[in-house]
Amino acid sequence: MFKRVSPYIGEYKKYTVWAVILMSIGIIANVTPYFFIYQIIAPLTRGEHIDASYILIRVIAVAICEIIFSVSYVQGLEFSHISAYNTLKNLRISLQSKLERQPLGNINELGTGRIKKVFTDDIDQVELLLAHAIPEGIANIAIPMIIIVLMFIFDWKLGLLSLVPLVVGMFAMGMMMKSGLEKMNAYYESAAKMNNTIIEYVNGMEVVKVFNKDGDSYKRFGERVKDYRDFTLDWYKVCWPWMAIYSSVLPCLVLLMLPLGSMMVLGGVVTLDRMVLVFCMSFAVGPSFLKALNFAGKFPQLDYKIAELEKMMEHPPLKEGESAFKGDNLDVEFKDVHFGYDDAEVLHGVNLSFKQGTTTALVGESGSGKSTLAKLLVHYYDIDSGTITVGGQDITDMSLEALNDQVSFVSQEQFLFNTTLYENILIGKPNATREEVLEAARRAQCNEFIARFPDGLDTQAGDGGKQLSGGERQRISLARAILKDAPIIVLDEATAFMDPENEEKMNAALDEIVKDKTVLVIAHRLSTIKNADKICVMKEGNCIAADTHDKLIISCPEYKKLWDASVSASTWKVREA
Ligand SMILES: Nc1ncnc2c1ncn2[C@@H]1O[C@H](COP(=O)(O)OP(=O)(O)OP(=O)(O)O)[C@@H](O)[C@H]1O
Ligand SMILES: [Mg+2]
């Protein structure tokens, strides 16, 4: 387990080592006073005279031990926390960078609840491992061991006696770990499910309210919460008896030592002073061991959580090359592209190419694979077979940054960060000046609605951009794309779900964005793409025809059907060639 976490500790490993050393010193300082106490009591048991200075020196020694204990223990804890929290930071950054390189599909499959749980709760568990379990655990195991060895040296019979509760305690702990392990996995699964359901419940609140599904939705929520309770209790039920045994038996060394030790003294088997010494030492064994065993009980949980963490990190990353963009033109080609989100194939060998500076439209029924094809061009997912090239270079051969420099994607679902509108646009080109951002906002027809906000462009977009209407959100993301000014633009139904007024503004904005660009556009209103250089008709995951509007309307019955069905004409037209 430590080995798994160890790469993330990095340069802070020395802090963990120092923490173990300091805590061991602290615990030695904590048990040494028993020896001084013995030195005072032993002569008294023999009826010997001891003077005041003899006692005073030992009392001072005890006080010094306590100071050493406090200082080194606290310092040890500080070091172990420095190491732990830096490791948490490294783990989170590393997980984030690995997630960033994953196909979006994998992230969706994992679920927000599970990702959140791993990022926050599971990674936090590493704190317990590094800040407490390792330094304190090692120290608390090592010290009782040393004491037991010393007990054997002083008197092997008493030493043997001291082993009895330890053996019973360790057996109970072993049993607890063994029987709890099976239940523990079920418990964690139910915790993950509960997290996902809670997040889904909150995210879907709007739908739930609109469709009066409070009852249904709450039922599922309630079931998950109850499941979690049941699994937790199940787990505790098998652990409790064992926990009770070791927690009560371990500190019992004193109880055992007192009667049996006394009998041994009375029987002349051991001397009284030896018995007193071992008796004093036995006070330090039980609690230390109990503490160590409590940590040991946490190890299976930690192991599970770290395994979860690793599972998330081990997903194969997106096939991403290192190269820069090397193409000498911006022609795009999809060659025999097969792709499925999971086992079911969605695209069945799509062939489509379009030249630099042209506008290509994707049309087809809902679910025919248009958005999927668009997302593949921006490398949201790895394809199963075939190739996608830009300027003759396979997109898997270039870095995502290189591809992103060439392609802007305005997707069907617009997401705005919970920061100002200004910063949301700035994402398109982080080093842009304020004037450039304002100009992009103007060209994307954002000025009219921005003027309504007292803070203008510095207005907060709200969580996920909730302060804005759908059309306004799309125009902000268009401004982002205008600012980015990439030579290839992929527009996924940017005009869908809009009222006529908003659509008119959007169309004007689109006219701005497509000037002199290579464009792949998806639009449901076919009138808007009538003048496209090429129209690709998608049907059930295949590109069944690709030509101009005039030719397709004659040669392709599916296109004719779509055209006839296409609702009200839109004012935006692709530029006449
Ligand atoms: N994230 C996903 N996971 C699994 N299947 C998906 C996912 N996204 C889309 N699909 C499936 O892939 C198929 C194609 O979807 P896609 O979104 O590409 O269609 P579309 O042509 O853009 O439809 P629309 O016109 O309604 O936007 C559909 O059958 C859909 O169910
Ligand atoms: Mg779509």
pLDDT (tens digit, 0 to 9) for every residue of the chain, 577 residues total?
667 777 788 888 899 899 989 988 988 898 888 888 888 888 888 888 888 999 999 999 999 999 999 999 899 999 999 988 998 898 888 888 877 777 766 676 666 667 777 788 778 877 887 788 888 888 888 888 888 888 888 888 888 887 888 888 888 888 888 887 778 778 888 887 887 788 777 777 767 766 766 667 678 888 888 999 998 898 888 888 888 888 888 777 777 778 888 888 899 888 888 888 787 777 778 778 888 877 877 777 777 777 777 777 777 778 888 888 888 899 999 999 999 987 899 999 999 999 999 999 999 988 899 999 999 998 888 999 999 999 999 999 998 889 988 998 887 777 788 888 999 899 888 899 999 999 999 988 888 888 888 888 888 887 666 678 877 888 888 888 889 989 999 988 755 555 666 667 777 777 777 778 999 998 777 777 888 899 999 999 999 999 999 999 999 999 998 888 874 444 445 554 4
Measure the CA dihedral 263/264/268/272, to 10°.
Answer: -90
Residues with CB under 5 A from ligand 2 (ion): 371
Question: Which ligand has its closest atom nearest to the C-alpha of 363?
Answer: 1
Q: CB neighbours (10 Å) of residue 444?
A: 26
Place of tokens 């996902």: 196
Contact residues of ligand 1, CB 6 A cut-off = 105, 108, 341, 346, 364, 366-372
Whole-number Å distance, alpha carbon 419 to ligand 1 midpoint, is 30
Ligand 1 centroid to Cα of residue 368, in Å, is 7
pLDDT at 465: 67
Q: Which of 24, 129, 23, 16 is nearest to 83 (CA)?
A: 16
Q: Tell me what pLDDT residue 113 has.
A: 66
Q: Which of 463, 470, 474, 420 is nearest to 203 (CA)?
A: 463
Domains of the chain are 2-314 (1.20.1560.10), 332-565 (3.40.50.300)
CA 576 to CA 120: how far, in whole Å?
54
| Structure confidence at residue 109 (pLDDT) | 65
Q: To test the ligand 1 pocket, which listed residue (102, 371, 409) has its Cβ within 8 A of the most ligand atoms?
A: 371
Which atom of ligand 1 is least distant from the CA of 369? 18
| pLDDT for res 494 | 55
B/e letters for 162-196, b = 16+ CB within 10 Å, e = fewer, are beebbebbbebbebbbebbeebbeebbebbbbbbb
Measured in angstroms, how far is the CA atom of residue 273 from the centroid of ligand 1? Answer: 83
Ligand 1 centre distance from Cα of residue 344 (Å): 12
How far is the centre of ligand 1, averaged over its atoms, from the C-alpha of 59 (Å)? 79
- Report the nearest atom of ligand 1 relative to the CA of 538: 21
Looking from the CA of residue 372, the nearest atom of ligand 1 is 18
Say what the pLDDT of residue 498 is. Answer: 59
Q: Nearest Cα to 538, choosing from 352, 394, 296?
A: 352
Strand order in the sheet with 359-364: 407-410, 488-492, 518-522, 359-364, 534-539, 542-547
Q: Which pLDDT belongs to residue 312? A: 73
* Pairing between β-strand 385-390 and β-strand 393-394 as defined by DSSP bridges: antiparallel
Residue 373 CA to ligand 1 centre (angstroms):
10
Q: How far apart are CA 304 and CA 185, in angstroms?
A: 8
Q: How remote is the C-alpha of 15 from its chain's centroid? A: 25
pLDDT in the model for residue 108 = 64
Residue 41, SS3? helix
Given this model, what pLDDT does residue 572 score?
45
Instruction: Give nearest CA residue, ligand 1 atom 5.
Output: 341
Dist. CA 364–CA 246, nearest whole Å: 68
What does pTM read for this prediction?
A: 0.66
- Cα–Cα distance between 320 and 315 in angstroms, integer? 14
Cross-strand pairs, 188: none
Nearest to 73 by CA among 147, 140, 6: 140
Q: Which of 370, 382, 413, 495 to mutate to test the pocket of ligand 1 (most atoms within 8 A of CB)?
A: 370
372 alpha carbon – ligand 1 mean position (Å) = 6
Ligand 1 atom, smallest distance to 373 CA: 18
Give the helix ranges, DSSP H, for 204-321: 205-210, 214-249, 253-266, 272-314
